[in-house]
A and B are shown apart, each in its own frame.
Chain A
């Protein structure tokens, strides 16, 4: 580095520690996946389908091959190995074979000396499409011709639903789902398609190793599962494909699935040259999966004094053209549908279907976001129907350790729902600011639309929860390797993807804590030197990496003691408590637990709404979150603030719009995420009750704020407007009542 770093105190678990990658990131020296270069490098480009559903009747490459600067033009015929891949089910073609099922599906690849040459050549590829009627409506998808006649997600222990286009169909029956109660409220809720909109577009560099293998430098969330998908499609052994983590410009679930990894490798191996692929923003919007849009029917039955008796839920998720992680999202949506409340009777039907809409998969909150919006709207509705304070209603029903989930799982770890509710509710709300004010501090912001006319204030509240770690019997583990040198210094190897969330810091803090030395470095994240870390998702990485690094450090110290000193090199694998599948017929857990652990958050939101124009300003957010044990409190509040912003975005502005499956707003001009003028200050209370099953008691912190904030923001808008607001993002039309 050309700059002199300020002396940063390097701390241990529980201390505020500046990021180790902070300095290279502020100077511009940090190498992201789009910053990489290699001698002789070519640029790859992906030709994508302009149709959401079409048959391919012919492809003519001749003009593209003859174009200047072009080194390769490849189609599905050039895929050396398996033609299909997928995160959980192999249902997605590396390159479309005879049919495209979504807008933007990859059809052909070009490598050229300059990106413009690659683009021009791609334009010369002639693809003959015979357009087919797209399945664009999830509600009727099970009545249409099957998009995947071989039913790739069936036969994996899920309920056998014979209808076409089922990704997963799950029914949870709990207690007596027909039981009646004094009061019933019901509603239908809708959630639009949200995009992760990470700032660093998909990109990477693939370098042939000269011996038939390839090194892939890429921004991803799970190096080893990338390798395990890439290698078979290239017809290579896993060790011939080495995935190295390049700088990651945000992820939020959007980098769980492959993007350019196989494509870049194919071009690199074909040309025997390094190949770089960088998506632009428009391509990024079609280049990764999104948060599932949902339609949710809910009925809550309760006693006159507010005790929940029975919750009946029907969830419809649009999975889009390919399965991705939809089966797990389907199950998550179902298992959190009742919210963090004790419910003795429930009937929850959760269905995810294939359509020709954009493929959906993992995004921060993973099924819990959609249902939280619905169940919290229902709780507010129930409170109004019973004339009970909405916070009191939530406290009355709050789930706690030892209670039973609708899946029959007894909550073993900590889950301080009542405490987060009380602490969030106790946060003092700021006074309403006098008029006149700068329009920047009014709904409409810089648009100068009001001086105070039409502005009403509302204070809203919501609670949400989510699982930590992979569920339903998945063998979820993380490997870490510790090399102690004779001089006492240590080098940690762990493939846990640093996607911005700060896991690299967590690893260092744990290692310093265990080894009792400041002299610890973290080796590059790669598949080449250490086993799998699992995915940087499901709020699991802090827990899992902490466990693996702790265990490896302790083992290394023991071995050094046994050896009487010297250098040691130890790798350990950490597993969280084992989970079990859900029974395919009843949705009940078949073992002690189907989720590993839970974390909850409560949030209070102050909103001002211009009820005549339907514009909003979120004034203040206060939240209390169950974090187990904060490894680095500054990083934890950073996650909470950022997670709240993404939930606010879904509540107010973020939606991928489609027409017959075609995305109509694939740009940052029309897919809007919150700016500095949209985000209020966030007051965060960290509720620390160490989880007995977790290393140091830590819980993941990334997802709960996103789960709860959409619901909390809309709750505040409802109070301000008096309207039901059953769909997110809330549109100005909905507030105005058009």
Chain B
């Protein structure tokens, strides 16, 4: 079922995909382009598990029409680590024990990395507000806050 073709950059690489027009960017990334890191937890913008950077802005990939990404730049969780090294947020999540089932983790990692890029030394309130669009059902968030503080240091 291919209605149209789109071209975009994902994690710096130019890619193209034949898609059905109603597909979300999330579906395109996961099922068409082989980037399953962004997660399909709610598909209604309520959980942040599919958080990606679209032209440098943190967004839910489930709420972007695939066709709207045509000609744009997307960075997913798979694009955060550079030269085989974990992003400092990723490393902090592992060390702080912020990962349990991990389904929310890719979205939280992207959101936290976005926060630290804009606020290198965020207050606790800033961390809470910046991550309030990302639901986690396992951790109660405590170790996620620990991880963000650890990464900020």
Contact = CB atoms under 8 A, between A and B. Distances in A.
A673 B100 CA distance: 17
Nearest to A5: B86
Contact of A635 (B38, B94, B97, B106): B97
B1 A32 contact: no
Contacts of A31: 36
A27 B101 contact: no
Given A19-B94, A280-B43, A281-B41, A676 B36 contact: no
B46 A199 contact: no
A677 interface: yes
Contact of A249 (B30, B103, B125): B103
B74 interface: no
Nearest to B100: A500
Given A34-B40, A446-B129, A669-B44, A6 B103 contact: no
Interface stretch (A71-79, A113-121, A327-335, A467-475): A113-121
Interface stretch (A47-55, A604-612, A636-644): A636-644
A659 to B, nearest CB: 21
Contact of B1 (A113, A249, A669, A674): A113
A30 B102 contact: yes
Given A3-B84, A28-B38, A199 B106 contact: no
Interface in A590-649: 634-635, 637-638, 641-646
A18 interface: yes
Interface of chain A, main secondary structure: loop
A3 B85 CA distance: 6
Given A199-B49, A500-B102, A26 B128 contact: no
A701 B129 CA distance: 30
B143 interface: yes
Contacts of B84: 2-4
A250 interface: yes
Interface in B108-153: 109, 125, 127-129, 131-132, 134-145
B104 interface: yes
Interface string A561-603: 0000000000000000000000000000000000000000000
A190 to B, nearest CB: 24
Nearest to B123: A438
A679 interface: yes
Interface string A11-45: 00000101101110111111110110100000000
Contact of B37 (A29, A643, A644, A674): A29
Contacts of A2: 81, 84
Given A117-B1, A641-B140, A679-B142, A250 B101 contact: yes
Interface string A242-279: 00000111111000000000000000000000000010
A501 interface: yes
Contact of A645 (B1, B47, B106, B140): B140
A198 interface: yes
Given A35-B36, A500-B100, A673 B94 contact: no
A173 to B, nearest CB: 40
Interface string A483-502: 00000000000000001111
Contacts of A676: 127-129, 131-132, 134, 141, 144-145
A365 interface: no
A667 interface: yes
A250 B145 CA distance: 20
Nearest to B47: A668
B5 to A, nearest CB: 16
Interface residues of B, number: 59
A28 B41 contact: no
A675 interface: yes
A28 B141 contact: no
A638 to B, nearest CB: 5
Interface string A664-697: 0001110001111101011000000000000000
A499 B101 CA distance: 6
Given A250-B138, A669-B46, A26 B101 contact: no
A242 B35 CA distance: 27
Interface in A187-215: 196-201
A6 B94 contact: yes
Contacts of B145: 676
B137 A642 contact: yes
Interface string A687-715: 00000000000000000000000000000
Contacts of B43: 280-281
B141 A199 contact: no
A83 interface: no
A500 B129 contact: no
B135 A441 contact: no
Given A249-B41, A446-B129, A677-B132, A6 B100 contact: no
A117 B1 CA distance: 8
Interface string B1-44: 10000000000000000001010000000110001111111111
Contacts of A499: 101
Contacts of A232: none
Contact of B101 (A6, A197, A248): A248
A672 to B, nearest CB: 9
Contact of B142 (A114, A251, A441, A641): A641
A32 B100 contact: no
A200 B128 contact: no
Given A113-B1, A281-B43, A679-B142, A25 B97 contact: no
Given A3-B85, A35-B30, A117-B1, A25 B105 contact: yes
A442 B80 CA distance: 35
A604 to B, nearest CB: 16
Contact of B99 (A19, A29, A646, A673): A19
Contacts of A281: 41-44
Contact of B76 (A28, A637, A642): A28
Nearest to B85: A4
Contacts of B135: 199, 668, 673, 675
Given A35-B30, A638-B143, A682-B142, A441 B137 contact: no
B86 A673 contact: no
Contacts of B97: 16, 18-19, 634-635, 637-638
A69 interface: yes
B131 to A, nearest CB: 5
A198 B94 CA distance: 21
A440 interface: yes
Contacts of A32: 36, 39, 103
A637 B146 CA distance: 13
B86 A642 contact: no
B77 interface: yes
Given A37-B31, A635-B97, 16 more contacts: A2-B84, A16-B97, A23-B90, A28-B36, A29-B37, A32-B36, A116-B20, A198-B137, A199-B47, A247-B102, A641-B142, A642-B138, A643-B140, A667-B46, A674-B140, A677-B132
11 contacts: A4-B86, A26-B102, A27-B86, A34-B40, A199-B47, A199-B104, A499-B101, A500-B138, A634-B97, A673-B137, A676-B132
3 A-B pairs with the lowest CB-CB distances in the bound complex, closest first? A28-B37, A500-B101, A25-B102
